Amino acid sequence: MCFSLLMTLFSCEKDSYSNVFTLKEILRCYELASGLKINFHKSMLVGINLVRSNLDCYARCLNCTLMWTQFKYPGLEVGVNMRKKESWEPVLNKISTRLSVWKGRFLSLAGRICLIKLVLTTLPLFHLSFYKASESVYSRIISIQRKFLWGWGKDNRVISWVSSENVCKPMK
């Protein structure tokens, strides 16, 4: 169960009213300690995989409004079923757009390997730290990397001269 209050994401146990009450108490203590007033009427509560009646009860406890839609929170899709391949399309498109054809043509093999290690492997890490991807998504990422490495940025079919297991080995 996740809550978004004041642009902050709180994660709690599912269907636990005591967690919501404790969260409200913590925010009240923050108000008393800092002298800042939290406007709960402007805050929005978002529940993921929760029953609507429980979410209404939590919103009444916190005196805030409900937001029942999908949204982005620091670039991460919240409320989307990430088990579907279509949900991973923005991540895969981001990887593909970082590689234009000219980048591959003007880089040496070592330069392409560095670009793959520094850019292509780190782009999906943020999403993969929150969601588990399917095997097809992993294979698409590896396919994009392999085409860039051996195809010099071209979009046509390429020949891999060395297996990807040997390319991915440590430098030693």
pLDDT of residue 117: 81
Q: What is the DSSP letter of 44?
A: E
CA distance 4 to 11: 9
For 44, phi and psi rounded to 5 degrees? -125, 145
User: DSSP states of 149-170 as a string?
Assistant: HHHTT-SS----SS-HHHHTS-
Using CA atoms, how far apart are residues 36 and 23, in angstroms rounded to an integer? 16
Scored b (16 or more CB within 10 A) or e, 149-171 reads: bbbbbeeeeeeeeeeeeeeeeee
**28/77 Cα distance (integer angstroms):** 29
Residue 109: exposed, middle, or buried by beta-carbon count in 10 A (0-12, 13-18, 19+)?
Answer: exposed
Task: Enumerate the domain spans of the chain.
Answer: 2-72, 81-167
CA distance 92 to 76: 14
pLDDT tens string for the chain (172 positions)? 444 444 566 677 766 788 888 888 988 898 899 888 888 888 888 777 777 888 888 888 888 888 766 767 677 777 777 888 888 888 888 888 877 655 667 788 788 888 888 877 888 888 888 888 889 998 888 888 888 877 765 566 667 777 767 766 777 7
